[in-house]
Amino acid sequence: MTTIELDTVRKEFGDDIVAVEDVSLTIEDGELVVLVGPSGSGKSTTLRMIAGLEAPTAGDILIDDLRVNDVQPQNRDIAMVFQSFALYPHRTVRGNISFPLEARDVPKTERADRVEEAAAMLDITELLDRKPANLSGGQQQRVALGRALVRDPQAFLMDEPLANLDAKLRKEMRTEVVRLQQNLGVTMVHVTHNQEEAMTMGDRVAVMNEGQIQQLAPPKEVYRRPANRFVAEFIGSPSMNLLSGSLADGTFRADSVDVSVRVPDDLADASTADPLTLGIRPESVQIVDSAGDYAFEATVDVVELMGNVQIVHIDLDGAEFLAEVDPDLVVEQGDSLLVRLPPEKIDLFDGVTAESPRIERAAEHGRSVDGPVAPEK
């Protein structure tokens, strides 16, 4: 029913600030796409352009194949939930939820029914006669959601709606938002700076940085096959380990430390750049008993027990390298360990452009063609 398409959309503020740089993105009907990135990456501006609250400097925004650049936000039939919830303090919860219905001249009895229905869906029926000031953060969040869904909009835009909630509530609401989105089958664009939120919520994740989409792919793909170093570092906690070095005869050798890894043939063939950066997720790093097979010796710097895993900080000649290991493994600071980097788990990035050589593979999976992809031949 509702698709949202951005065609080389650009937003400049003033003469020298480019907030969004030629972003192209198609959001399918009923899909939940998460825009994730650090502050200033242009994700909120992108969302506000879809909403109509900001006008793009160049490019087209299409809703259901209809160009909406010149359509006022109130006529786009899109609901938005704000980070600050933006409830109307002078109206009760009932008044807040029925406000969008009043704008559409919905008859009074129907309005009352629909408010009750939305309130029941969000479990806030008993709060209907309260003012927003007398609600907790989580309750305010629900009211904001109620106000968005009561009018049955074409699409939902969520501008960091969970950022103001405490950690426990944030996880609960995360699940609830996904459940609502799936039950209603509505198209949703969710903006967050929290990579965990992006991974758990999105059908697809668009990782943004410096106004550009760095990678647009399902969460698993973004995690397993990051398109570039930025995505590799931004997605995943703790961050991916990175080592700079170069490739010779199918073997990667790190520059400053005595670490080498046999690179799988397909990856080695694709990686023609020099220098290169090797990336490996902490959970893929192995602690082994016997030397050989490219295992290297390293000293334990710090051990952090997280409960289900423990994170071992390894000192690689000054550079920090993390390994996520079984919590039952007995390791202490100062221990010497044999570390192995399994070849099938490694990634390589161009040391200069920071791009992954698996470009073609990424492009097949919806990687933005306007991102900084420059296949080197």
Partner 1 sequence: MSVVEWTRHRLTGTTDEPVSLRGAFRTIGVTSFVSVMLVATLFPLYWTVNTSFKPAPETQTFPPTFTPETFTISPYIDVLTGAGSSVLVNSVVVSVGATVLAMVIGVPAGYAYARNPGKVGGKHLAFWILSLRMFPPIAPILPLFFMFRQVGMIDTYPTMMLLYLTFNVPLVVWLMRSFFQDIPQAVEEAAIMDGYSRLEAFFKVSLPLVSPGVVTTTLLVWIFSWNEFQFALVFTRNAAQTYPVIIPALVGGHATLWNQVAALSVMAMIPIIIISLLMQKRLVRGLTLGAVKG
Question: Of the two residues 69 and 286, which places its CB atom closer to partner 1 in the complex?
Answer: 69
Question: Of the two residues 184 and 303, which places its CB atom closer to partner 1 in the complex?
Answer: 184
- Which of the residues 39 through 58 are near partner 1 (CB under 8 A)? 51, 53
Q: Is 307 in the site for partner 1 (CB under 8 A)?
A: no
Of 9, 2, 14, the C-alpha closest to 213 is 9
Of 265, 239, 238, the C-alpha closest to 252 is 265
Alpha-carbon Rg for the chain, nearest whole angstrom, is: 24
Q: Is 291 in the site for partner 1 (CB under 8 A)?
A: no
Q: What angle do CA 147, 150, 154 make, to 5 degrees?
A: 100
Distance CA 84, CA 181 (A): 21
Distance CA 34, CA 125 (A): 30
Q: Is residue 19 helix, strand or coil?
A: strand
Helix (H) or strand (E) holding 229: helix 229-234
Q: Is 90 in the site for partner 1 (CB under 8 A)?
A: yes
Count CA within 13 A, CB hemisphere, residue 137. 14
| Closest distance of CB 234 from partner 1, Å | 26
Question: Of the two residues 39 and 336, which places its CB atom closer to partner 1 in the complex?
Answer: 39
The residue from 30, 82, 210, 286 that contacts partner 1 (CB under 8 A) is: 82
Q: Is residue 318 helix, strand or coil?
A: coil
Q: Is 4 in the site for partner 1 (CB under 8 A)?
A: no
Could you give phi then psi for residue 178, rounded to 5 degrees? -65, -40
Distance CA 154, CA 244 (A): 47
Q: Is residue 151 helix, strand or coil?
A: coil
Question: Of the two residues 133 and 330, which places its CB atom closer to partner 1 in the complex?
Answer: 133
Q: Is 89 in the site for partner 1 (CB under 8 A)?
A: yes
Q: Is 137 in the site for partner 1 (CB under 8 A)?
A: no
Q: Is 83 in the site for partner 1 (CB under 8 A)?
A: yes
Distance CA 118, CA 153 (A): 13
Say which residue the tokens 């506000």 belong to.
48
Q: Is 79 in the site for partner 1 (CB under 8 A)?
A: yes
Q: Is 133 in the site for partner 1 (CB under 8 A)?
A: yes
Q: Is 115 in the site for partner 1 (CB under 8 A)?
A: no
The residue from 16, 39, 70, 104 that contacts partner 1 (CB under 8 A) is: 104
Q: Is 163 in the site for partner 1 (CB under 8 A)?
A: no
Q: Is 15 in the site for partner 1 (CB under 8 A)?
A: no
Question: Of the two residues 82 and 294, which places its CB atom closer to partner 1 in the complex?
Answer: 82
Residues that contact partner 1, how many (by CB under 8 A):
23
Question: Of the two residues 101 and 208, which places its CB atom closer to partner 1 in the complex?
Answer: 101
Q: Are 269 and 72 in contact (CB under 8 A)?
A: no
The residue from 84, 136, 182, 333 that contacts partner 1 (CB under 8 A) is: 84
Residues 6+ apart with CB under 8 A from 165: 137, 138, 141, 173
| Closest distance of CB 31 from partner 1, Å | 20
Of 60-68, 81-89, 255-263, 277-285, the window that binds partner 1 (rule: CB under 8 A) is 81-89
Of 74-82, 169-177, 202-210, 328-336, the window that binds partner 1 (rule: CB under 8 A) is 74-82
Of 41, 36, 365, the C-alpha closest to 205 is 36
Q: Which residues bind partner 1 (CB under 8 A)?
A: 51, 53, 72-74, 78-80, 82-84, 86-90, 99-100, 103-104, 133, 147, 151
